[in-house]
């Protein structure tokens, strides 16, 4: 398994001969120009997770990629007829790779802001680590996760909730995402706390270099 953080929530996962891009949003442009994708997968409709102005170019550059999105995205973003919905408790098979959708709702931002759909995405393949991208929710901690994409900061959670999420999940390895609103000092604070106070070894992939992860 090879993982590349392409800024904020965008993650390129290469596993079992498949290249899967998660959450190409407008808080990053590092994913622009990504090619040879087998799938593009979106956890929810917020523009920092799916960029309505630039996904068309991504689709054009990847004409054979499957596009799977949380169902609310289908009505909110012009996907050029490419999108298919994946809801809570549904799954998708991409060759030897399986993607399971969990959760169902975005974290509460404020009681006056209606909650939208959000699916966490669990990726499994025989002989590979199990990967989890939670989107914008810390409510669901699926069993058996080896590597987690960790939202480092959001206007919908406090540090204590991130720590409890990682403790509940119990993944051995993780890396920070959802960091566009963090200063370097904020990153260092969260990075240190999550490493010190949870069972997860948190890696810094902000350089954009690929990280190779082995099973076990």
DSSP label of 106: P
CA distance 197 to 20: 31
Judge whether residue 25 has pLDDT over 70: yes
Structural domain boundaries of the chain?
A: 2-212
Average pLDDT over residues 152-170: 96
Homologous superfamily assigned to 2-212: Ribonuclease Z/Hydroxyacylglutathione hydrolase-like (3.60.15.10)
pLDDT-above-90 percentage for the chain: 99
In the structure, what pLDDT confidence band is assigned to residue 216 with cuts at 50, 70 and 90?
low
Does an H or E element contain 21, and which? strand 18-22
Average pLDDT over residues 171-197: 97
Strand partners, 20: 13, 39
95 Rama class: left (phi>0) / alpha (psi -120 to 50) / beta: left
The model scores a pTM over 0.85: yes
pLDDT-derived band at 215, boundaries 50, 70, 90: confident
* C-alpha 34 chain-centroid distance: 16
pLDDT, tens digit, 9 for 90 and up, residues 73-121: 999 999 999 999 999 999 999 999 999 999 999 999 999 999 999 999 9
pLDDT tens per residue, range 113-142:
999 999 999 999 999 999 999 999 999 999
E-assigned strand segments in 70-205: 83-85, 91-94, 97-105, 117-124, 131-133, 147-151, 173-177, 201-203
The answer to whether 122 and 132 have CB atoms below 8 angstroms apart is: yes
């Amino acid at each position: 398994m090879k993982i590349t953080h392409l800024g904020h929530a965008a993650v390129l996962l290469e596993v079992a001969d498949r290249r899967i891009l998660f959450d190409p949003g407008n808080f990053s442009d590092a994913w622009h120009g990504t090619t040879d994708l087998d799938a593009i997968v979106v956890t929810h409709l917020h523009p920092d997770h799916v960029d309505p102005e630039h996904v068309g170019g991504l689709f054009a550059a990847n004409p054979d990629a499957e596009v799977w999105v949380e169902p609310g995205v289908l009505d909110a973003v012009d996907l050029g007829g490419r999108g298919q919905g994946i809801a809570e408790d549904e799954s998708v098979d991409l060759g030897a790779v399986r993607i399971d959708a969990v959760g169902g709702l975005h974290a509460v931002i404020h009681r006056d802001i209606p909650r939208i759909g959000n699916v966490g995405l669990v990726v499994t393949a025989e002989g590979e680590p199990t990967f989890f991208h939670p989107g914008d929710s810390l409510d669901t901690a699926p069993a058996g996760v080896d590597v987690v994409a960790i939202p480092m900061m959001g206007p919908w959670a406090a540090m204590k909730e991130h720590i409890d999420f990682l403790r509940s999940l119990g993944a051995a390895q993780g890396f920070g995402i959802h960091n566009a609103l963090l200063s370097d000092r904020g990153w260092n604070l969260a990075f240190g706390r999550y490493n010190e106070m949870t069972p997860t070894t948190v890696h810094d992939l902000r350089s954009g270099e690929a990280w190779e992860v082995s099973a076990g």
